[in-house]
Amino acid sequence: MEKLKKKIRSFSFWNWVIASIIFRLILIYFPNNLNLSSRPEVSTPLTSFRRLSEGYWLKQLSMSPYAGSMYHGSPLLLSLLGPLTVKRIEGQPNHLLYSLVSVIADVVSAMLIRATGQNLQVAYFGTLKSFDLVKQIEGSEVHSPGDVAALIYLCNPFTIVACMGLSTSPIENMAVILCLYGACSRLIPLAAFGWVIATHMSLYPAILIIPVIFLLGRGPDAPPRKLFLQMHQEKGVLNQSKLPPCFSWGPIIHFAFWALLWSVYVLVLCGISLKQFGGLWEMFKSTYGFILTVEDLSPNIGVLWYFFAEVFEFFWNFFLIVFHANILFMILPLAIRLHHRPCYLAYVAVCSMLKSYPSVGDSALYSGLLGWFVNELSDMQFSLFLFCGYVGVSPLSPVMHNLWIWRGTGNANFYFATTMVYACLQIVLVVEGVSAMLNHDRKLRSLITGKPRDAKS
């Protein structure tokens, strides 16, 4: 019976995967990819397809790809994806090859998410077994986090829109997920590679170093270590082998070595390709400098464009520091509180609220990663509110944009309202998620120690 259930579940999983792939392929054949690549929610100055082809064209004319402040991505992407922007096949829609690359990136990301989720599931069951709690949860519905997360990632409308909008976010997401997969499965060169590539392409995945260190040092998500000690105190059995391993520095050093190696490799390649155009400093100025200084104030799904349009230039530096440090300041305390759950920490890091140029590709990533914690977060408050909020904001945002820009009957405040709501939803999601996770830990503790504690919300 169990086997049949499992078989049915896995069968329907692959069904969904194939259905989503077919759906994307159908969407490719719509004219002009439904003009999704011109939506500000999809294409930002960092991920836009038009800017990528402009950078490639400039490169072909032997000019610096960063000339004219159009392209702000990695020069390696130009060599990889650049030729795809111009390749045309007779009778097929434009940019077929590029869309196929995005689809493949999505599928690979989904498979990696699934593998990581399975890792997490194994670890979860392992801890439950060591707490002798398996019987208690067997009755209730336990979903496989890998499958759920992979399906959420593939079938999420945000992901599909980001894929069809020809942005570079599927590839950035793939790099982030590769890093997390490598860290979960203890494949250190892979994790280092993913981290270096993700940081190289956009700056914010650099913060993933903290969860990755915890993942490599300790292993995937597990209840806090002191719970184990408490349990053994209670039960009086001291079985060393069942204890989770102590924090080990060896893999960290290994990771540092490989990260250094890969970053030197990537920087050397970038330096070679940009040798005549100002070298690495030009690249850093145009990519990281552009992200950090928020030069481009064209509307997107974030809030910084409106904010910096109304703030006096005198205060820009201050507010830039505040916004960018916000991400750091959010991660550090959470790292202390949730150091035993590094994958969740990675999820929060990926959320990167108040980014310079967010797009739906980012929300695709963290929605997908949310699926890993479907068991722990099953009691999250406001889940319906958040879901309805996202469903409501997604069509409203293009409508407000249309009202503002094309019809002229609205103004920037209309659009900014939807982006503010989006940012609020993101914040509420993270906050509620963290509290739900802490509640889950408390429940585990109460189950183990037998003393009921008040579940603080």
Name the residue with tokens 């970053």: 263
Name which of 13 and 262 has its Cβ closer to another protein: 262
Q: How far is CA 194 from its chain centroid?
A: 12
Name which of 19 and 61 has its Cβ closer to another protein: 61
Name which of 129 and 275 has its Cβ closer to another protein: 275
Closest CA to 336 of 248, 244, 438: 438
In whole angstroms, the minimum distance from the beta carbon of 405 to another protein comes to: 29
* Span near another protein by CB under 8 A; candidates 99-107, 126-134, 267-275, 401-409: 267-275
In whole angstroms, the minimum distance from the beta carbon of 76 to another protein comes to: 6
Among 193, 308, 366, 415, interactor with another protein by CB under 8 A: 193
Name which of 27 and 54 has its Cβ closer to another protein: 54
**Residues 281-310 as x/- pattern, contact with another protein by CB under 8 A:** -x----------------------------
Name which of 62 and 240 has its Cβ closer to another protein: 62
Name which of 214 and 277 has its Cβ closer to another protein: 277
Number of residues engaging another protein in binding (CB under 8 A) = 30
In whole angstroms, the minimum distance from the beta carbon of 308 to another protein comes to: 24
In whole angstroms, the minimum distance from the beta carbon of 354 to another protein comes to: 31
- Decide: is 322 part of the binding site for another protein (CB under 8 A): no
Name which of 40 and 194 has its Cβ closer to another protein: 194
* Span near another protein by CB under 8 A; candidates 139-147, 276-284, 316-324, 403-411: 276-284
- Decide: is 278 part of the binding site for another protein (CB under 8 A): yes
In whole angstroms, the minimum distance from the beta carbon of 357 to another protein comes to: 22
In whole angstroms, the minimum distance from the beta carbon of 112 to another protein comes to: 13
Among 27, 187, 386, 427, interactor with another protein by CB under 8 A: 187
Q: How far apart are CA 352 and CA 347, in angstroms?
A: 9
- Decide: is 189 part of the binding site for another protein (CB under 8 A): yes
- Decide: is 12 part of the binding site for another protein (CB under 8 A): no
Among 190, 256, 311, 412, interactor with another protein by CB under 8 A: 190
Name which of 63 and 386 has its Cβ closer to another protein: 63
Name which of 118 and 383 has its Cβ closer to another protein: 118
Using CB under 8 A as the binding rule, the residues of this chain from 30 to 89 that contact another protein are 60-64, 66-68, 75-76, 79-80
Three-class SS of the chain: CHHHHHHHHHHHHHHHHHHHHHHHHHHHCCHHHHHHHHCCCCCCCCCCHHHHHHHHHHHHCCCCCCHHHCCCCCHHHHHHHHHHHHCCCCCCCCCHHHHHHHHHHHHHHHHHHHHHHHHHHHHHHHHHHHCCCHHHHHCCCCCCHHHHHHHHHHHCHHHHHHHHCCCCHHHHHHHHHHHHHHHHCCCHHHHHHHHHHHHHHCCHHHHHHHHHHHHHHHCCCCCCHHHHHHHHHHHCCCCHHHCCCCCCCHHHHHHHHHHHHHHHHHHHHHHHHCHHHCHHHHHHHHCHHHHHHCCCCCCCCCCHHHHHHHCCHHHHHHHHHHHHHHHHHHHHHHHHHCCCCHHHHHHHHHHCCCCCCCCHHHHHHHHHHHHHHCCCCCCCCCHHHHHHHHHHHHHHHHHHHHHHHHHCCCCHHHHHHHHHHHHHHHHHHHHHHHHHHHHHHHHHHHHHHCCCCCCCC
**Angle, helix 96-130 to helix 145-155, in steps of 10 degrees:** 160
- Decide: is 273 part of the binding site for another protein (CB under 8 A): yes
Find out whether 340 and 390 touch, Cβ atoms under 8 Å: no
Name the residue with tokens 């976010």: 169
In whole angstroms, the minimum distance from the beta carbon of 107 to another protein comes to: 17
Name which of 265 and 329 has its Cβ closer to another protein: 265
In whole angstroms, the minimum distance from the beta carbon of 281 to another protein comes to: 10
Name which of 97 and 405 has its Cβ closer to another protein: 97
In whole angstroms, the minimum distance from the beta carbon of 384 to another protein comes to: 42
Residue 201: partners with Cβ closer than 8 Å, 6 or more residues away: 73, 74, 77, 168, 171, 172, 175
Positions that interact with another protein (CB under 8 A)? 60-64, 66-68, 75-76, 79-80, 182, 187-190, 193, 254, 258, 265, 268-269, 272-273, 275-278, 282
